[in-house]
Amino acid sequence: MSKKELHSMKKPQDHDTSNLGTSASLNSVSSNKQDKDLVQSPLKASFEYLKGENYNIELNFIEGDEHPLTEQGNLEAILMACEQIKQDKIRNCRDQIFKKTLASFTPLHVAAFSGNADTARLLVRESGIDINVQALGQRTPLLLACATGNNEVAKVFIEEKADPNLAREDKVTPLMLSVLINAKDIVALLIENGANISAEATKGRTALHFAAANGFKSILKMLLENGGDVNVVLEEGCSNLHLASLFGHTKTASLLIQKGAALEMKDQQGYTALHYATHSERSEVAEKLLACGANKDAVDKLHFTPFHLAAQNNHINVCHVLLKYKANLNSLANDRVTPLMLAVFHGHLETVQFLCSNGSVLQARHQTGKTALHFASQRGHHEVARYLIEKGSYLHTCDLQGYTPLHKAAQNGHKKVCKVLLDRGANVDASNDKGTTPLIVAANYGHYKVVKFLVDRGADINASHSSGTTSLHFAAERGHSEIAKLLLEKGADVNACDSWGLSALHRAAKNGHESLAELFIKSNAIINSKDNWQYTPLHRAAENGHSSTVAMLLDMGSEVEARDKWGFTSLHRAACNGKTETIQILLSANVDVNAQDSLGYTALHRASEGGYYDTVKILIKAGSDVNCLDNQGFSPLHRAAENGHQDVVEMLIEYGSNVNSQTYTLNYKASALSSYVKDSSVGNQSGNTTNGFKKEPNKTKGPAALLLAAQNGHEKTVELLLKKGADAEITDFWKSTALHKSAEDGKIKSAECLIKYFNDVNLKDRWGYTPLHRASENGHSKIIELLLRNGGDIKSVDQWKCTPLIRAAQYGHYECTKLLIESGSSMDDTDKWGFSAFLRACQNGHTKIAQLLLASGADETKTTREKTTALMLVSYGGFSDTLEMLLERKANPNAVMDKGLTALHFASQKGHAAVIRLLATHGANVNAADQFGYTPLHKTAFHGHTDCVKLLLRFNARLDITDKQGCTPLMRASQNGHKDVEKIIENYKTRKSQKTCLCGKIMSDGGDNKDSVCQECKLMGLYAVSLPFKENKDNIEQNESAIHMV
């Protein structure tokens, strides 16, 4: 083969596969893109991959003028000639990558594609260059010789022991490149000299794949006879037979089948070789595969059969072959797609006729409910639609949306299909369950010709959707002016309103369709009509910033001061969205710039809240009052500061906004700290949380702008306000400062700004909280550090006598607790009920914090004023982990508080079974009575805790103890209506009166019978001896099962 012939192989023809590209699987050469409204189809005939990567790029090195290396016998001359050829190639090369590759070539590489056998042999033997030397891309001289078809040089290199398996960087070997150019002799020589037939290049390609894809039968046979795997696959699962079938190489396919190729092997998408042949219209290959036993109805992952592919691609010859072998032409793929649907969808009339003539079901339904006629209508194939109707397709069949074929034709603007359908009796006003007619659909999608055609054929112009929306509404919404004009000329009601009260004018104004809006007004639309929210068309246009539409509406007489349901004027609506140009037009129409909505907001409030700087500036210059207050006492400055709009804040201050004005307390959300009503003990005490506050809202001393900015973490706004004269220590109604708010919400940067301006960081609010209290209660350790560095008082107490440490421990903030301890907080301080930090941690089940406090020297024996111990608090809360920790430290489970209550009383009252078990196994007295005579069993029976009742009985709680009113636990359960508890106690009493063998058999009802085992157990020689119960040590369940069988 000449170099010119080799070079021509670089441009693959229609069926050339010398370039396998980036992928060779059938899925990769097919389009999988699926419109949600289209037939689901995995394939579309395409060989785009042939335009991909060129596997034999070495052919570029023989491009252009040939410079054969003719020098012989003189090594120095040969070397110089090789260098000259290389430099000429580099000079004429435009591709930078090729230039770099050429520059890396040795004389042996140049000789590989330009030399002859003698020069190559001389270079190998006398130049001293390694025969396996690699240039850029790991190219060896042998690889270049094989790739460029220089057979005589390749033979020399092989004879001189060049390694035949040294591959390019993409793992392509000399053998693969020789196969690729059909160089049989070199292939044979390489195999003979140890070339690896099974070597894989990228994506799993082997020499066999190149041979099969190109139809090189002789080479393929040689490879197979020398150990090649007939069923080797690419990464995509594509086999040799797949490739031969795809490219129509019948003889190659026959050889592969003879050699044992698997007919039913599938690639990763589930395609068989028959799918490949069918897809690429290789009818001869398809017939060969079928004749050899290929499954005619094989399915891929989407359940597409070969018939689906043939129908989709209009391969009528393949359809004939498939039908000859009795393939099912009505098979259903995923989504219930049939071959007929695919043929119809793509408009293949000849294939449609073939399928219909051979038994395809016309009325088969797609998963969406569409028939073949729906698809023909949707795609605009009017000849196909006409044929289907002639063959009996139903005109009025509806899909799952209730759409008829006429709807689909109208939706996609296919006038010819509409004519075909209407001429054959389709209902022009057919509607689905939502009232959608073909006219509404056409108007919505802007198909003027279809709209006109339907109107001329008698469609109801004023028919409405279930929402009340007519064709005119849809045209107005979408801006289809020609359609709207046509509908008005034909009598459409311009003032018809939908379910939301929107007229066509509202919809046109909302979307800025100025010419349409003007058309409607000139057609007698009510210019100030109001929708269900009392919006006028002017509101709608202004809200969305359609300034030219706003100007037109004002010129045509729109009421500029009209109010919507919330009291908004058009100016409010424009200001909410920062529509500056629209605002200028409204202002020129003398709109009231200080008008207030139902919440008291002016347009300036709305613009300030949204941070629209330019809008704020225009409104101020137009005379908007910068100190106007809304119903909550907020000025525009408050709104801007609250949302952190620094530039707007600065402007408002410059124009005279009062930096220290305060809102009303009406709107102010009380701090979490203000709602401290949690019981301070397990007794009946509760804190006074009213503190003399009035129940009705107080319209004085709400938060100033500084507090609002601080609590929302807008540190730059905080800093600006302070620089502009804001009082750093200003307080609200609850005497909270901005520092309190920052501390409570963890806004560290705001706190850092504020603290520079504070004289006293220990200021207290109405509950006696300092900023340090708030930070401690909410777990903000960084703020605690900041406050401590700046004089925060760790000994300060609130009105409940709680220190910051108590608050941190109470709410479970470990790091804060640790920090406060390290800063010297006293662990002996107690609140007004006698709770220490340790007791508060136990009360809330914060085990790690309790351990930290104990390790730091907290007194674990400390009790509250009511003598409540840590163990009691834990038991009341049901915190078994904390309880275990305390019991391990030898806490007394039988300690008694005021009124005679023990920890077990609390656990029993609250129904904490796990706590009861722990206490009882650690020696708690299950029969201890309080000052009213209640035992733990009285408590738990009264409250109906069945599990706890059972558990206490297992620990030998007595049923006969009566309280001071003479009631037993059974009587207390009965009083409160706990039938299940009554039943448990009665059953327990019955069992106690019976003698039971250890095997479980009831022996007697008591009496004088002293036998401990039944007669059967005696005969079996089984005697059980119970081990003694060891109080406070072993788990009760372990002891109950501790029996020794003799």
Which of 98 and 53 is assigned the larger pLDDT? 98
Each as own residue / partner, the long-range contacts of residues 390-395 (CB below 8 Å, 24 or more positions apart, any chain) are: 391/356, 391/362, 392/362, 393/362, 393/363, 394/363, 395/421, 395/424, 395/425, 395/426
Is residue 219 a contact partner of residue 213, using CB atoms and an 8 Å limit? no
Give the total residue count for the chain: 1046
The DSSP bridge pattern shows strands 995-996 and 1002-1004 to be: antiparallel
pLDDT of residue 308: 96
Residues with Cβ within 8 Å of 586's Cβ and at least 6 positions away in sequence, in order, are: 542, 550, 554, 560, 570, 571, 574
* Nearest alpha carbon to residue 409 among 393, 426, 390: 426
* pLDDT higher than threshold 50 for residue 1038: no
Q: How confident is the model at residue 360 (pLDDT cuts 50, 70, 90)?
A: very high
Work out the mean pLDDT of the chain and round it to a whole number. 88
**Has residue 878 been placed in a domain?**
yes
What is the residue whose two structure tokens read 């010789």?
Answer: 145
**Has residue 724 been placed in a domain?**
no
pLDDT tens readout for residues 113-131: 887 888 889 899 989 999 9
Q: Cα–Cα distances in Å, from 209 out to 14, 85, 124, 184?
A: 18, 35, 33, 16
Residue 355 has a CB neighbour count (10 Å cut-off) of: 29
Domain end point (choices 129, 147, 169): 169
CATH of the domain at 101: 1.25.40.20
Phi, psi of 1026, rounded to the nearest 5 degrees: -75, 135
Cα–Cα distance measured from residue 875 to residue 603, given in angstroms and rounded to the nearest whole number: 58
Q: Which two tokens stand for residue 69?
A: 């290396």
**Has residue 618 been placed in a domain?**
no
Is residue 240 a contact partner of residue 212, using CB atoms and an 8 Å limit? yes
Phi, psi of 355, rounded to the nearest 5 degrees: -65, -45
**Has residue 64 been placed in a domain?**
yes
Spell out the alpha helix ranges (H) of 566-659: 570-576, 580-588, 603-610, 613-621, 636-642, 646-654
DSSP 8-state symbol, 995: E
Cα–Cα distance measured from residue 929 to residue 939, given in angstroms and rounded to the nearest whole number: 10
**Has residue 140 been placed in a domain?**
yes
DSSP 8-state symbol, 1027: P
Q: Which two tokens stand for residue 447?
A: 């198909």
pLDDT tens readout for residues 601-610: 999 999 999 9
DSSP 269-322: T---HHHHHHHTT-HHHHHHHHHTT--TT---TT---HHHHHHHTT-HHHHHHH
Is residue 405 a contact partner of residue 420, using CB atoms and an 8 Å limit? no
* pLDDT higher than threshold 50 for residue 60: yes
Q: Which residues pair with 836 in a beta bridge?
A: 830
* pLDDT higher than threshold 60 for residue 187: yes
Is residue 715 a contact partner of residue 721, using CB atoms and an 8 Å limit? no
Q: Can you tell me the mean pLDDT for 712-716? A: 95
Residue 173 has a CB neighbour count (10 Å cut-off) of: 26
Residues with Cβ within 8 Å of 108's Cβ and at least 6 positions away in sequence, in order, are: 120, 123, 124, 127, 129, 131, 133, 141
* pLDDT higher than threshold 70 for residue 875: yes
Q: How confident is the model at residue 11 (pLDDT cuts 50, 70, 90)?
A: very low
Total domains, the chain: 2
* pTM: predicted TM-score of the whole model, two decimal places: 0.75
Phi, psi of 1003, rounded to the nearest 5 degrees: -95, -40
Is residue 140 a contact partner of residue 168, using CB atoms and an 8 Å limit? no
Q: Which two tokens stand for residue 812?
A: 């479970």
Q: Can you tell me the mean pLDDT for 915-940? A: 96
Domain end point (choices 169, 190, 224): 169
Cα-based torsion angle of the residue sequence 989, 992, 996, 1000 in order, rounded to the nearest 10 degrees: 50
* pLDDT higher than threshold 60 for residue 1010: no
Q: Is 854 helix (H, G, I), strand (E, B) or coil?
A: helix
Q: How confident is the model at residue 4 (pLDDT cuts 50, 70, 90)?
A: very low
**Has residue 159 been placed in a domain?**
yes
pLDDT of residue 70: 63
Portion of the chain with pLDDT greater than 90, in percent: 78
What is the residue whose two structure tokens read 């000789």?
Answer: 111
Cα–Cα distance measured from residue 336 to residue 339, given in angstroms and rounded to the nearest whole number: 10
Is residue 494 a contact partner of residue 524, using CB atoms and an 8 Å limit? yes
Portion of the chain with pLDDT greater than 70, in percent: 85
**Has residue 926 been placed in a domain?**
yes
Domain end point (choices 938, 966, 989): 989
Cα–Cα distance measured from residue 252 to residue 165, given in angstroms and rounded to the nearest whole number: 26
pLDDT tens readout for residues 990-999: 887 766 666 6
Cα–Cα distance measured from residue 643 to residue 648, given in angstroms and rounded to the nearest whole number: 10
Q: Which two tokens stand for residue 762?
A: 């220990």
Residue 618 has a CB neighbour count (10 Å cut-off) of: 21
**Has residue 153 been placed in a domain?**
yes
Of the CA atoms within 13 Å of residue 1043, those in its CB half-sphere come to 11
* Nearest alpha carbon to residue 937 among 924, 921, 947, 926: 926
**Domain limits at 139?**
48-169
pLDDT of residue 74: 82
